[in-house]
């Protein structure tokens, strides 16, 4: 009995132990993890030399310690990156510039058209006056001669085309031939010109009136003219 009691007392007694961080082996955080230095590299000592082997340590330089590259005054993107606002600004469509360019183009075209119209009217004023008048002398066989040719006046009088004939310079035998009426804006400033030419081949010079791209022919019967 005494022996059995002695064995029971020899068993260890279990106690509740509180958790303690010191009892556990924890892993160090990454930010403070230490790295083992690179072991020195031993060079072989030549057999025929007695100098001690040179030991070196491989050291890796950081990029910040390297000598900067020469950029010839041009800033590197790595040193001065573009701002986000600048990147968005380059991608925007220049709608304001396009609208301004379109307006300026329209104004330029309208100005050129207005100047061309004004210049044409100015040249007509110099050549034909107001009302538009054109004159010529020709021998048509109506009591005229080379020394006393017939005088013709072509006139646009308030859009009414008129041809005045003064045979041989005799004002008492003046004839007036009525032409068409011109319709449209600015037609009162349209020049009316003429020429004398044998159209039907009868040997008598006929009268041709020019109004822009239109031609009106008056046939000569030997004494006067008749519209064709």
Give the CA radius of gyration of the chain: 57
At 185-218, the pLDDT tens digits run 999 999 999 999 999 999 999 999 999 999 999 9
* 36/184: higher pLDDT: 184
* Whole-angstrom distance, CA of residue 6 vs CA of residue 17: 26
Distances in Å between the alpha carbon of 150 and those of 122, 163, 184, 201? 30, 13, 33, 21
At 91-136, the pLDDT tens digits run 677 899 999 999 999 999 999 999 999 999 999 999 999 999 999 9
Closest CA to 208 of 200, 223, 221, 197: 197
Domain-by-domain residue ranges, the chain?
Answer: 97-128, 130-227
Query: For residue 118, is it left (φ>0), alpha (ψ between -120 and 50) or beta?
Result: alpha
Give the confidence band of 29 by pLDDT, cuts at 50, 70, 90: low
pLDDT over threshold 70, residue 35: no
Contact status, residue 197 vs residue 209, Cβ threshold 8 Å: no
Closest CA to 179 of 223, 134, 113: 134
């Amino acid at each position: 009995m005494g022996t059995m009691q002695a064995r029971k007392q020899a068993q260890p007694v279990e106690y509740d132990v509180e958790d303690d961080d010191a009892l556990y082996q924890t892993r160090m955080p990454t930010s403070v993890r230490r790295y083992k230095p690179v072991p020195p590299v031993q060079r072989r000592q030549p057999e025929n030399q007695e100098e001690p082997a040179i030991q070196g340590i491989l050291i890796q330089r950081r990029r910040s310690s390297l000598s900067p590259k020469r950029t010839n005054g041009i800033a590197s993107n790595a040193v001065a990156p573009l701002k986000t606002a600048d990147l968005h600004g380059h991608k925007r469509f220049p709608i304001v510039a396009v609208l301004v360019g379109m307006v300026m183009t329209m104004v330029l075209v309208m100005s050129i058209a207005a100047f061309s119209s004004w210049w044409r009217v100015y040249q007509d004023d110099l050549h034909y006056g107001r009302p538009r008048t054109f004159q010529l002398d020709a021998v048509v066989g109506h009591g005229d001669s080379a020394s006393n040719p017939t005088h013709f006046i072509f006139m646009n009088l308030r859009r009414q085309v008129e041809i005045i004939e003064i045979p041989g310079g005799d004002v008492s035998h003046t004839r007036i031939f009525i032409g068409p009426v011109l319709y449209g804006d600015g037609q009162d400033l349209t020049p009316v010109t003429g020429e004398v030419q044998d159209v039907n081949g009868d040997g008598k010079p006929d009268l041709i009136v020019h109004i822009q791209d239109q031609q009106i022919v008056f046939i000569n019967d030997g004494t006067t003219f008749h519209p064709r």
